[in-house]
Chain A
């Protein structure tokens, strides 16, 4: 009984790992553009969260008005650059960025940090 189960387990494992080898046409290497796009998107999301961190720090009194404004402008500019690279648009779309930050804020009803989902 145990040997039969073990044999069936071995057959199952071999079948599962061998299957892709017989379906070569279904797979292709990830493209450079895909990875770049994903990285840009991830970086942009990180910047949005930094902007929300900044708002959180400012609200808590950790930052002065000047520092807050200056850092927020820098981050928004960086996000605009990334969005421009992602979409290939000719100019930074500030309204899109504002919309996405607002969306982020609405989803949790407050400012956020992290975005550490695996």
Chain B
């Protein structure tokens, strides 16, 4: 398999180089046969990448430990289901996976691209071919997954234990796929610019491919947060870690882009801005590859550190220079022929929201790069931690959420005082009522209360828009359900966007709840002892051994009770005096109002070969809050050391995922073509 894999990579290297060069030569020398040949070459790179990937997967399935990558990332006791995860568990496999996604996406987008892009297509193919060439080059000469061991071991080292989690089947591939597929809209936009196609022909393709990569990246980040919440054992889901940040930054810029591209579609404005956004997104994706694959920044969950930094940094710099040199060259031709008529317009609100997204990106970028600069300039190692990001980004993110409600309420071009009053009055009232109710209920923390008010305002704005549109169609004769369906179906990009906005609001609820109102306590429990926090009593009932040849592992069985705080009033008062949120009790007898509500089984393992601990938190989740139990360690005296927290509204974080995916799909779903009739074209005509 190693031979087949290596041959495929070398073949891909030659094919991608040919695709890039033949495209440029073909268009310059006006040789249509060469252009067809280069396009076919790009499709052939997909075939050889698939063959190389299958060769590696087969090697894993067959336990072919003569291949170093296989012996480093699997062993005979590894569950076969994790072969897919082992494929991208290390740098070499990740790069092959990234290339696989890029090749498939390139082929599909070139194959499906509309005919009117024929003149810019050779340049698009050249950019895609050159990007693929870089990855084939790295795979062939610097990070081959098909390198052989001098002496094949009888068994492998095994897979990184933190990767043996359901979330790992999709989180890393989605992140890698999301980052690399930003290349596609970038290649189409740049191809159009090189060809001198300054119109809006490329924007439909760029918008669709951008939303796909943006949706994939967003879903990947959310799954990563879920994985961190359930397995990493630190009790959170987002740590502003460099690896997380380098995925977040291009996602923020692409979010800005898919909003501003609507202005170009609708009003013919923001041409320069949109190209700049795509360029920044592409370069940030390359920065992500550099940080992820090159390993210049220490990360809490970097699984693929290596010495590839210089190579990826070089490619990122080349990308940066190419993208912005092209932009500057064509800038005079990109000026929009329309000006913004009013700042009280939807296009102005999109521009403000773009600036806010860029501001979060810049704050985050500085936090990621500062340790690097400090290391280089002063030879002092520093790390930028969560408080910096929370304080700097928190207010801007709140502003973005507010604009999410304001933007859709404003009409295109300009608005009148009457229309502003008409659209804003109810959402504003609902936002203010929410704040007043929370204050009257005794909810503390003003920033959180304000944030809840903003969330309510945005939710009301979306519902108001749906309500008015539905009523209007209902008056025309549709029943209520059909009226709403037709409203959404009639403008899928807009209403798909609203569904995504709802998912962001749900995410916002979870973030506010867990950041402002989390309670936490630690303790060590013997059998029969309990830990009490908030309205819960957690009793340690029994334990069991789950060790295997590669790990020492134990699980604890715990009963969970709902309690009446009055039954524990003295203990709570004592704990609060100590500044604690909870306490332990040795007495196993229950109080009068204790009510059994279920069982949890937190798990703790230690992997000997990796010298690494892994946990599965015990989580009892409701719509209002999570009871979250982290087993820190099973102590030699029979007790289990626990960290227990109440995470308010955490359920909403994960519930937002399906809404995000559904909204993205609705926004992407193709509209029926206005013309079924095919234009008289020749399929043999190729780019000029």
Tell whether A pairs with B.
Answer: yes
Q: Which residues from chain A sit less than 8 Å from chain B, CB to CB?
A: 2-3, 5-7, 9-10, 12-13, 16-21, 23-24, 26-32, 34-35, 37-39, 41-43, 45-46, 48-50, 52-53, 56-57, 59-64, 100, 103-104, 107-118
Measured CB to CB, the closest approach of chain B to A113, in angstroms, equals 5
B494 touching A113, Cβ below 8 Å: yes
The 8 Å CB contact of B34, one of A21, A46, A115, is A21
B493 touching A114, Cβ below 8 Å: yes
Chain A residues whose C-beta falls within 8 Å of the C-beta of B36 in the assembled complex: 20, 27
Chain A residues whose C-beta falls within 8 Å of the C-beta of B115 in the assembled complex: 34, 38
What is the number of contacts between chain A and chain B, taking CB atoms within 8 Å? 202
Known: A17-B44, A27-B686, A59-B469. A45 touches B674 (CB 8 A): yes
Question: In the complex the two chains form, what is the Cα distance from A18 to B671 in whole Å?
Answer: 38
Q: Which 3 A-B pairs have the closest CB atoms?
A: A6-B7, A38-B116, A110-B490
- Give the interface centre of A3, A17, A61, A63 by most chain B CB atoms within 10 Å: A17
Q: A30-B685, A113-B493 are in contact. List 11 more A-B contacts (CB 8 A).
A: A2-B7, A9-B8, A27-B35, A35-B688, A43-B199, A52-B490, A60-B469, A107-B672, A112-B671, A116-B204, A116-B207
Chain A residues whose C-beta falls within 8 Å of the C-beta of B4 in the assembled complex: 2-3, 5-6
Measured CB to CB, the nearest residue on chain A to B30 is A29
Q: What are some 15 contacts across the A-B interface (CB < 8 A)? A: A17-B37, A17-B40, A18-B37, A30-B685, A34-B115, A38-B116, A38-B681, A46-B200, A49-B674, A50-B266, A53-B266, A117-B670, A118-B114, A118-B208, A118-B209
Chain B residues whose C-beta falls within 8 Å of the C-beta of A2 in the assembled complex: 1-4, 7, 55
Chain B residues whose C-beta falls within 8 Å of the C-beta of A111 in the assembled complex: 490-491
Chain B residues whose C-beta falls within 8 Å of the C-beta of A64 in the assembled complex: 416, 419
Question: In the complex the two chains form, what is the Cα distance from A27 to B4 in whole Å?
Answer: 34
Q: Does B492 contact A (CB under 8 A)?
A: yes
The 8 Å CB contact of A62, one of B2, B33, B411, B679, is B411
Q: Mark B33-62, 1 if CB is under 8 A from A, else 0.
A: 111111011011001100100010000000
Q: Does B489 contact A (CB under 8 A)?
A: yes
Measured CB to CB, the nearest residue on chain B to A39 is B116
A116 touching B469, Cβ below 8 Å: no
B200 touching A9, Cβ below 8 Å: no
The 8 Å CB contact of B673, one of A17, A46, A115, is A115
Q: Does B112 contact A (CB under 8 A)?
A: yes
Interface size bracket, B side: 35 or more
Measured CB to CB, the nearest residue on chain A to B674 is A104
Q: Does B109 contact A (CB under 8 A)?
A: yes
A29 touching B116, Cβ below 8 Å: no
The 8 Å CB contact of A117, one of B200, B204, B266, B419, is B204
A35 touching B119, Cβ below 8 Å: yes
The 8 Å CB contact of A17, one of B41, B489, B674, B686, is B41
Q: Does B472 contact A (CB under 8 A)?
A: yes
- Give the interface centre of B40, B116, B473, B688 by most chain A CB atoms within 10 Å: B116
Question: In the complex the two chains form, what is the Cα distance from A62 to B266 in whole Å?
Answer: 15
A38 touching B114, Cβ below 8 Å: yes
Question: In the complex the two chains form, what is the Cα distance from A100 to B30 in whole Å?
Answer: 37
- Give the interface centre of A59, A103, A104 by most chain B CB atoms within 10 Å: A59
Q: Does B465 contact A (CB under 8 A)?
A: yes
B119 touching A30, Cβ below 8 Å: yes
A109 touching B671, Cβ below 8 Å: no
Question: In the complex the two chains form, what is the Cα distance from A5 to B3 in whole Å?
Answer: 10
Question: In the complex the two chains form, what is the Cα distance from A5 to B7 in whole Å?
Answer: 9
- Those of B464-518 within 8 Å (CB) of chain A: 465, 468-469, 472-473, 486-487, 489-494
Chain A residues whose C-beta falls within 8 Å of the C-beta of B41 in the assembled complex: 13, 17
Q: Mark B672-688, 1 if CB is under 8 A from A, else 0.
A: 11110001011011111
Known: A100-B675, A112-B491. A13 touches B44 (CB 8 A): yes
The 8 Å CB contact of B199, one of A10, A39, A50, A108, is A39
Q: Mark B645-688, 1 if CB is under 8 A from A, else 0.
A: 00000000000000000000000101111110001011011111
B15 touching A117, Cβ below 8 Å: no
Known: A16-B40, A20-B36, A110-B486. A115 touches B674 (CB 8 A): yes
Question: In the complex the two chains form, what is the Cα distance from A62 to B618 in whole Å?
Answer: 49
Question: In the complex the two chains form, what is the Cα distance from A50 to B200 in whole Å?
Answer: 14
The 8 Å CB contact of A108, one of B18, B38, B489, is B489
Q: Does B205 contact A (CB under 8 A)?
A: yes
Known: A6-B3, A110-B490, A116-B204. A23 touches B33 (CB 8 A): yes
Chain A residues whose C-beta falls within 8 Å of the C-beta of B109 in the assembled complex: 118
B490 touching A112, Cβ below 8 Å: yes
B679 touching A41, Cβ below 8 Å: yes
- Those of B324-367 within 8 Å (CB) of chain A: none
Measured CB to CB, the closest approach of chain A to B441, in angstroms, equals 35
A61 touching B30, Cβ below 8 Å: no
A56 touching B491, Cβ below 8 Å: yes
Measured CB to CB, the closest approach of chain B to A66, in angstroms, equals 11
Chain B residues whose C-beta falls within 8 Å of the C-beta of A6 in the assembled complex: 3-4, 7-8, 11
Chain A residues whose C-beta falls within 8 Å of the C-beta of B147 in the assembled complex: none
Measured CB to CB, the closest approach of chain B to A63, in angstroms, equals 6
Chain B residues whose C-beta falls within 8 Å of the C-beta of A32 in the assembled complex: 688
A20 touching B3, Cβ below 8 Å: no
Measured CB to CB, the nearest residue on chain A to B672 is A107
Q: Does B265 contact A (CB under 8 A)?
A: yes
Q: Does B550 contact A (CB under 8 A)?
A: no
